[in-house]
Structure 1
């Protein structure tokens, strides 16, 4: 038997049969399919995560606050300006020079008490000339009167005509008028000379003095500083601008409490006496006047005071928000409120009192609303936002989405 026809003694040494090859191929194909499927799924998941991240990034993140109840209850605290019960600026009514000043700032003065003496030589000379003119007019008047009487007597004897007698009577009337005019000029200059003595118009205290010895005083100069200011401070007036929303609750007879920075812990009682009865279009407030007794002169004219009114219960919602939460537009003040679904609703609000950092509202929001703090100007109703989580110890009152 030849070598080529010899039988195979060891089958294991022979190559893999077709069945084995088929199994291997099917397994490799299945592994490839699994690898491809896993890759496709991973890519799909990554794409979805990227899309969700982009959607989340497109939503603006906002901080929210909740309206707070007014901690002061029904107290209405407003700034007020203290003024003297009466105050008079003393100016000169005649030209001259200051000879002496007799009162200084802080001095208590009585009505009619002299404050300063002026020298007015021009007025003195004018008065002397006016008195001479008056004497001349009187002499002419007496002569005309004598002549008129004489002609009236001669008329009875038909020694003169009626026309001539009437002319003499008319001349007397003219002379009397000239005398009266000359006397009026004398009285005017005497009054002007009397203005060289500056006096206090009422009991009070001198709160300013600009008079200096030898200084020239020019009457009628509107821009000139007053020589003295006298203020009656036995009582004081306090002027307060009350917001329109509270103007109906503050009426004449309402009492208020004053506090001043120079008297910590001390308060003063004042009573509202009158109201302007009109809303100032620029400030949106009504000017009211209060009065308070001032026996110890503790309340000074021109001082700043905090005026506290007790308004009626239920006046407004007594809710406050930070001033940064208010949007001001053509439709008035509004706020952006975030709902539970993360969508914004822009609501109009009514401002009762603007205190700068905080704003008191009388309507438009509730204590449960989540209001966007510092909202963008472009925010609109229906916009979606995500709420920033409140930091520990922070003032935000909202929870995250």
Structure 2
């Protein structure tokens, strides 16, 4: 009986242990497969390509208004009327909004009254002075001190009159500020406030009443990479195209050069003045601008996907002896699927086809060969 009980317990324990052992074996097997899959993971690389730069450098640009202003109220008051709205074409000096402020009317009336009183006092003091001068011709009739005092009164009243005239001019000018006028020819692009709104410079979080832009003329702004900055010349001809008008090529010239390389992007800002009488082009549109430049040396190209743009800047990831290296670059001309890069690169360098900031610097990775058409020749990765 004891033997039977012993064998029963033994069989029960074996039955419980067999699935656990099988599970451990499966887990080990799966872990091994995952490790093998990870070890087989590899990144595609291509060689940096050397090509001649096209004579026409193509760079992106953006249209901005020639003038762009937000119009605020200069005095405190309520908007009485606003005869313009979004899209209205206005001329310089045209009234865009009218405000009302009764206290300004009161100030003007008070200063006009003070001016009238000042004129009256001056006329009286002048009359008294003339009589004293006439009387002083008779010896002993007028004391010299009395004559001097009368003359001083005339000078004081005259100064007071000038002060009152200036106060009236200031009050009239403040009243003129109740009319908001256009500072230049343009188009109303935003109307923020409506009639009845309280406006003025003393208001907390003051908002503009309108936004006005001059778009009859536009500025086409382009940032030119540092490597080309030395070849940009004032009044040099350029061509540009806009996606909104496919197939149409516009012409212009370089009107302004900043003569300053921005450290953040290592590029120089230039402006092209664009006449836009038909208002076909609009601020915010992008353009592709062609510059007639030619580099003396050949340029290096990589796939567009190889360039990583992050908080650290623009860079490509090269692979040297199985380890990654970040190489800071500037981007230049673009061709089909390829981007010109300027930096510490050589034609024999291998770069990752698809760069990512998830791939850190100086880490070991596995690479495989990849073929990519760069420029006019096929490149095979090692």
TM category (shorter chain) comes to 0.7 to 0.9
The TM-score normalised by the length of structure 2 is: 0.73
Q: Counterpart in 2 of 1:351?
A: 330
Alignment of 1:187-266 (within 5 A): 187-219=169-201, 223-266=205-248
Q: Do the aligned partners of 2:350 and 2:381 also contact (CA within 8 Å) in 1?
A: no
Q: Counterpart in 2 of 1:289?
A: 271
Q: Deviations over 1:279-318 (max 9, x none)?
A: 22223222211111212201112x1313323242225533
How far the C-alpha of 1:217 sits from its partner, in A, is: 1.7
Q: Counterpart in 2 of 1:317?
A: 298
Structure 1 residues 272 and 221: alpha-carbon distance in aligned structure 2, compared to 1, 3 A threshold: farther
The separation in 1 between residues aligned to 2:204 and 2:251, in whole angstroms, is 38
Q: Does 1:361 align with 2:316?
A: no
Q: Counterpart in 1 of 2:262?
A: 280
Q: Deviations over 1:331-390 (max 9, x none)?
A: x9786466xxx79898977635498x97523464454x24142686226xxx9x975234
Deviates more, 1:210-219 or 1:344-353: 344-353
How far the C-alpha of 1:134 sits from its partner, in A, is: 0.9
> How much is the aligned-residue C-alpha RMSD, in angstroms?
3.8
Q: Counterpart in 2 of 1:172?
A: 154
Q: Do the aligned partners of 1:316 and 1:352 also contact (CA within 8 Å) in 2?
A: no
Q: Deviations over 1:138-182 (max 9, x none)?
A: 111111111222222222223222222112111111111111111
Alignment counterpart, residue 154 of structure 1, candidates 122, 130, 135: 135
How far the C-alpha of 1:73 sits from its partner, in A, is: 2.3
Larger strand proportion, structure 1 or 2?
A: 2
Structure 1: state its 5+ residue gaps: 1-57
The separation in 2 between residues aligned to 1:325 and 1:101, in whole angstroms, is 51
Q: Deviations over 1:106-136 (max 9, x none)?
A: 1222222222221121100110111111111
SS in 2 for 1:388: strand
Deviates more, 1:251-260 or 1:206-215: 251-260
How far the C-alpha of 1:222 sits from its partner, in A, is: 8.8
Structure 1 residues 277 and 149: alpha-carbon distance in aligned structure 2, compared to 1, 3 A threshold: same
Q: Do the aligned partners of 1:316 and 1:361 also contact (CA within 8 Å) in 2?
A: no
The separation in 2 between residues aligned to 1:362 and 1:132, in whole angstroms, is 75
The separation in 2 between residues aligned to 1:103 and 1:299, in whole angstroms, is 22
Alignment counterpart, residue 89 of structure 1, candidates 70, 76, 92: 70
Alignment of 1:59-208 (within 5 A): 63-68=44-49, 73-157=54-138, 158-208=140-190
Q: Do the aligned partners of 2:45 and 2:368 also contact (CA within 8 Å) in 1?
A: yes
The separation in 1 between residues aligned to 2:326 and 2:298, in whole angstroms, is 15
Q: Counterpart in 2 of 1:307?
A: 288
The separation in 2 between residues aligned to 1:222 and 1:298, in whole angstroms, is 39
The separation in 2 between residues aligned to 1:98 and 1:345, in whole angstroms, is 64
Structure 2: state its 5+ residue gaps: 1-38
The separation in 2 between residues aligned to 1:187 and 1:74, in whole angstroms, is 63
The TM-score normalised by the length of structure 1 is: 0.70
Q: Do the aligned partners of 1:88 and 1:231 also contact (CA within 8 Å) in 2?
A: yes
Q: Counterpart in 1 of 2:368?
A: 388
Structure 1 residues 175 and 316: alpha-carbon distance in aligned structure 2, compared to 1, 3 A threshold: farther
Q: Do the aligned partners of 1:259 and 1:266 also contact (CA within 8 Å) in 2?
A: yes
The separation in 2 between residues aligned to 1:81 and 1:327, in whole angstroms, is 20
Q: Does 1:377 align with 2:358?
A: no
How far the C-alpha of 1:70 sits from its partner, in A, is: 6.1
How far the C-alpha of 1:237 sits from its partner, in A, is: 1.0
Where relative contact order (Cα < 8 A, 6+ residues apart) is larger, the structure is 2
Q: How many residue pairs get matched?
A: 331
Q: Counterpart in 2 of 1:42?
A: none
Q: Counterpart in 1 of 2:33?
A: none
